[in-house]
Structure 1
Amino acid sequence: MKAIILSAGRGSRLLPLTDTLPKCLLEISGRTVLSLQLDTLAACGVREAVVITGYMPHLVEAEVEKASGIKVRTLFNPFYHIADNLASCWMARGEMQGDFLLINGDTLFEEALLRDVLAVPPNGISVTISKKNDYDDDDMKVTLNGEALTAIGKTLSPQETDAESIGMLRFTGDGPSRYVAELEAMMRTPEGNTSWFLKAINAVAGRGEPVTTCDITGRQFAELDTQEDYRALQEMFRSGEFPSPAPSR
């Protein structure tokens, strides 16, 4: 299984912390976000990762060279400053020839969560979701029909919202080719450069094509978007509330 990590962005909502560092290189308990992701992947048996870079790529490349227990390569997206992350996925379409995980570069997750995702039977396209009582404007909300995803987006109404996407997807079987075809189609449209990578999933599901889900409610994960998120994550790691992977380097 290969992992593709979307880490091209700067993280403007974390300024001034990201003045001199990409978001994926911010440190939590002495380890970078990217190193925590790679160590968790390695601990769960993922042996290959491709990190999509953009902002300050030389710093990410230097971090990748320290990795052990997992083979890591980088792929530079020169359009990161004028395009959203659907373009990063399009840049990585050549890496989507077999089964793979697609992970947001600002999502941290415990080993147990990733093991749950990897244990799901191969089923094409699977979106990892979590359920809670209330959802805010920044959540990537999901509409479900049983375990099937029928819509995904931040603007779904409360009545349409059954869960949230945590920023991790698994593609198996015909899933990679279906996703790549949608990326190719969307990048030919005027809004392609400004679209999120999950908009392609919404389009696939909107046509009635199967998109399944993996519910990891109760497992630990966190997204790093704001300084408030950063402070909360630091405290979670300090207190041991967030299970931290053993360093593999």
Structure 2
Amino acid sequence: MRGVILAAGRGSRLGNLTDERPKCLVPLAGRTLLDWQRSALTAAGVGELAVVTGYRGHLIAERGLMTFPARRWAETTMVGSLLAASPWLEAGPCVVSYGDIVYTAATVRALVTAPGELAISYDPQWADLWHQRFADPREDAESFRLTEDGCLAEIGARPRDLSQVEGQYMGLLRFTPRSWRAALRVLDGREEVLDMTGLLQQLVEDGQRVEAVPCDGPWCEVDGPGDLRVGEEIVRRNEEAFAW
């Protein structure tokens, strides 16, 4: 199993923390975000890792990691970054991680062993984390609904109320070559307008089964400086879960 970390963006909402480095190299609890991701993926048995780079990508390449440069990272969404790693996605099963999240190895293992061609990790207890991050969790929450058998039914819309939110997508997913080919058919030149949740929603509407795998352990996402404080507290309170 291979793993790809999408780390092309600057992370402008972090202000001067990313003036001289990409977002994935911002430290959290004594380690960069990239180091947290590498450790979790490796501990879960992901054997080869690559990073999709963009903003100040040379700083990542200097760490000896294999990289896929996203040439148009500033003009496209996360999906554009994902396309840069297409050679690996076409070749075999691959875990894909956003470059601004911290999660446990147990969550990766659950994702890797999930059935089906396409699977995503999600947090069914999302509200607790969102209350720590936002004054009103509804400001950032997206719709997330499941089918009776636990597959993705809806994702990415602005929810009318929280009854439409059965969890939150984490930015961690797993493709097989077959599901990646389905994704390429959906994209077909639309990488500038479709974001990742938009791609997943379109795949669902086209009949692609998307397994939804609950996270195993704590996690956090870093969008702004306040998220760093939240993430550091999560890591501090859950040292055993993050001890690899």
TM-score tier by shorter-chain length is 0.7 to 0.9
Aligned length: 232
Gaps of 5+ in 2: 128-136
Identity between Structure 1 and Structure 2 (%) = 27
Query: Is structure 2 residue 221 aligned with structure 1 residue 230?
Result: no
1:125-204 alignment to 2 at 5 Å?
125-132=118-125, 134=127, 135-146=137-148, 147-158=150-161, 159-172=163-176, 174-183=178-187, 185=188, 188-189=189-190, 192-204=191-203
Q: Secondary structure at the match of 1:127?
A: strand
Aligned to 1:106: 100
- With normalisation by structure 2, the TM-score equals 0.86
Tell me if the contact between 1:39 and 1:245 (Cα under 8 Å) persists in the aligned partners: no
Residue 244 of structure 1 deviates from its aligned partner by 2.7
Amino acid at match of 1:120: A
Q: Which has the higher helix share?
A: 2
Name the CA distance, whole Å, in 1 between partners of 2:86 and 2:232: 34
| 1:204-243 equivalence runs, <5 A | 204-216=203-215, 219-241=217-239, 243=241
- How far apart, in 1, do the equivalents of 2:122 and 2:237 lie? 25
Q: TM-score, normalised by structure 1?
A: 0.85
Quote the offset at 1:241 in angstroms: 4.7
Aligned to 1:92: 85
Match of 1:74 in 2: 67
Q: CA deviation at 1:114?
A: 1.5
User: Hey, what's the Cα distance between the residues in 1 that align with 2:180 and 2:209?
Assistant: 13
Are residues 109 and 223 of structure 1, via their aligned partners in 2, closer, same or farther at CA, if it must alter by over 3 Å? Answer: same
Q: CA RMSD of the aligned region, Å?
A: 2.0
Report the alpha carbon displacement of residue 29 of structure 1 after superposing the two structures with TM. Answer: 3.0
Residue 95 of structure 1: SS of its match in structure 2?
helix
Report Cα offsets for 1:17-67 as digits up to 9, x if no partner.
11111110011233211011111111111111121000101111123x2xx
Cα deviation, residue 153, structure 1: 0.3
Secondary structure in structure 1 of the residue aligned to 2:19: coil
SS at match of 2:122: strand
Judge conservation of contact 2:142–2:165 (CA < 8 Å) in 1.
Answer: no
- C-alpha contact (below 8 Å) 1:236/1:242 kept by paired residues: no
Q: Secondary structure at the match of 1:49?
A: strand
CA distance in 2, matches of 1:245, 1:133: 22
